[in-house]
Amino acid sequence: MSDADTKQIERMKAILKAQQDAFAAERHRAAEERRADLKKIADLTRTHADDIAKAISEDFGVRSAAETQLAEVAFVIKSATHAGKHLKRWMKSRGVAVEMTMAPGKAYVRREPKGVAGIVSPWNYPYQLALAPLVAALAAGCRAMIKPSEYTPKTAELIKRILGEAFDETHVAVITGGPAVGEAFCRLPFDHLFYTGSTSVGRLVAKAAAENLTPVTLELGGKSPAILTEGYPLEPAAKSIAWGKYFNAGQTCVAPDYLLVPAGQEKAVGEAVITMAAAHYPQPADDPHYTSIVSDRHHARLKAMIEQARAAGAEVIEVPHDVNAAGAARKIPPTVVIDPPLDSDLMREEIFGPVLPVLGYDSLAGAVAFVNGRERPLALYVYAKDKAAARSVLDRTLSGGACVNAAMLHLSVEELPFGGVGASGQGAYHGEHGFLTFSHQRAVFEAPVKHPSRMLAPPYGAAFRFISKMLTR
């Protein structure tokens, strides 16, 4: 471990202690103060929109400014604004019914902040996936420490600077550093730990948090399937799938990871997707709206996956491009692979890049069985003219979220919970669901000074037998 890492670890321990002390002194931040916090997030995001786009693009090599505006800047502003608008309703205690045998009395649930939250954010949407959980934590009245990804250092430093200008470190702090710092961060005794990233690292995060019995939210990934049913129009399907798959060059946790189509239509569908992708990105190597792969290592991994499938006999279809220019820009053109082997890396690993395997199925039941034979995905997409067919797929599968006749749009609905299930994650956020993630729902029963429950105390006589009979009949 380097001296810099050691100093950073000691610094974050001191910040955690300072935030814990600050929370103890102000356990219930008023609604007006929380709304002011959320307004700060929206305002600084709006003010620094160009800086955010520039930093992310420098980290990636090329990152579409339009995609940053849509998926990072606008997303965070909308999230903060929505939370501020609904905050007072979310904060209210919820009364519950009291059974006659417990009367007279009052029962309700208090929504209270958990305390100090830790947020570990990834590189693929480095601003959104750091700030959206922060919005939820601040809405809930928590204090927060953020550990951004070391793979996007310029964005991490920007987040640290602009949040440092808006918040005292006893309220919101940003910790930068490499894997050693990240590992130590996850071992801190937070009141809640929120992690977004890969499933493999998510398992390690859960183990680290377990040392302190820290509750965790794990926003992971997996191989999200898309199913095209018989008779669905090819052009709108191809347009939706191409948009969902090649947005951010496929470096999206809910991007369609593979596409199942009626047997015999694999090549026609694959070519339609590539035709649509070519319309979106006619010159991917030089197109400023087509994003680079984030690192040389990730670029090499994706290239190896494609070549492995090609060597095994799978047909590879790509948007026409300048190979040398694409390589120099660390770009992989929109790609479709027809019927890759099921034991290939394309079908065993989450792709996280602009490569779409297309496979055929003999029956819709067979497609459902194929999906269910794998780990639970973060998202599932079904394209069906027949609503009954779409509902049938939803009824027989399980995924974190789903869309019918669309890709990725479910995560843009603020009041839908966003999260995984099984290997794709645990817990959810966005809207009120995010507020609840960072809140403790405290059960309270208020009884009058004289309450019939006093008669349940020993010695157990006639009054006890009467009440017991009422409780058990």
Residue 222 has pLDDT above 80, yes or no: yes
Sign of CA dihedral 360, 364, 369, 372: positive
pLDDT of residue 313: 97
CA 467 – CA 452 distance, rounded (Å): 9
> Which residue in the list 67, 219, 350, 432 is annotated as catalytic?
219
pLDDT at 320: 94
- Asked if 402 and 226 count as a contact pair (C-beta separation under 8 A), the reply is no
DSSP state of 448: -
Whether the pLDDT of residue 394 is over 80: the answer is yes
pLDDT 10s digits, 322-358:
999 999 999 999 999 999 999 999 999 999 999 999 9
Return the percentage of the chain with pLDDT > 70, whole number.
100
For residue 100, pLDDT over 90 is answered with: no
Long-range contacts of 336-342 (CB under 8 A, 24+ apart): 336/270, 336/271, 336/273, 336/274, 337/306, 337/309, 337/310, 338/266, 338/267, 338/270, 338/314, 339/266, 339/314, 339/315, 340/309, 340/312, 340/314, 341/309, 341/312, 341/313, 341/314
Strand (E) or helix (H) holding 323: helix 323-328
Residue 253 annotated as catalytic: yes
Mean residue pLDDT across the chain: 96
Q: What is the pLDDT of residues 187-210, one digit of tens each?
A: 999 999 999 999 999 999 999 999
Q: Do domains 3-220+424-441 and 225-418 have the same CATH topology?
A: no
For 136-170, the pLDDT digits (tens) are 999 999 999 999 999 999 999 999 999 999 999 99
Higher-confidence residue: 59 or 464?
Answer: 59
The pTM for the full model equals 0.95
271: pLDDT strictly greater than 90: yes
Mean pLDDT of all residues in 269-278: 98
* Model pLDDT, residue 12: 95
Neighbours of 218 (CB within 10 A): 24
Out of 3.40.50.150, 3.40.605.10, 3.90.1560.10, 3.40.50.300, the CATH code matching 3-220+424-441 is 3.40.605.10
CB 186 within 8 A of CB 195: yes
pLDDT-derived band at 456, boundaries 50, 70, 90? confident
Domain spans, the chain? 3-220+424-441, 225-418
Query: Using 50, 70 and 90 to split pLDDT, how confident is the model at 472?
Result: confident
The confidence score (pLDDT) of residue 250 equals: 98
Name the percent of the chain lying above pLDDT 90: 92
Give the tens place of pLDDT for each residue, 418-454. Answer: 999 999 999 999 999 999 999 999 999 999 998 887 7
Two structure tokens written together for 214: 């820290």
Can you give the pLDDT at residue 344? 97
Residue 101: is its pLDDT beyond 80? no
Pick the closest to residue 261 from 370, 375, 398 (CA basis). 370
pLDDT at position 464 is 80
In the prediction, which pLDDT does 470 show? 78
Largest CA distance in the chain: 91
| Phi-psi region at 321: left, alpha or beta (left = phi > 0; alpha = psi -120 to 50) | beta
When computed from its CA atoms, the radius of gyration of the chain, rounded to whole angstroms, is 25
User: Strand, coil or helix: what is 135?
Assistant: helix
| Terminal-to-terminal C-alpha distance of the chain | 66
Residue 105 has pLDDT above 90, yes or no: yes
Collapsing DSSP to helix, strand or coil, 131 comes out as helix
User: In this predicted structure, what is the pLDDT of residue 452?
Assistant: 81
In DSSP notation, 374-399 reads SPPPSEEEEE-SSHHHHHHHHHH---
pLDDT at 80: 98
Q: Spot the catalytic one: 67, 253, 266, 432.
A: 253
- Return the CATH fold of 225-418: Aldehyde Dehydrogenase; Chain A, domain 2 (3.40.309)
DSSP secondary structure letters along 245-314: HHGGGG--TTS--EEEEETT-HHHHHHHHHHHHHHH-SSTTT-TTSPPPS-HHHHHHHHHHHHHHHHTT-
* φ and ψ at residue 361, rounded to 5 degrees: -130, 150
Q: Determine the pLDDT at residue 4.
A: 85
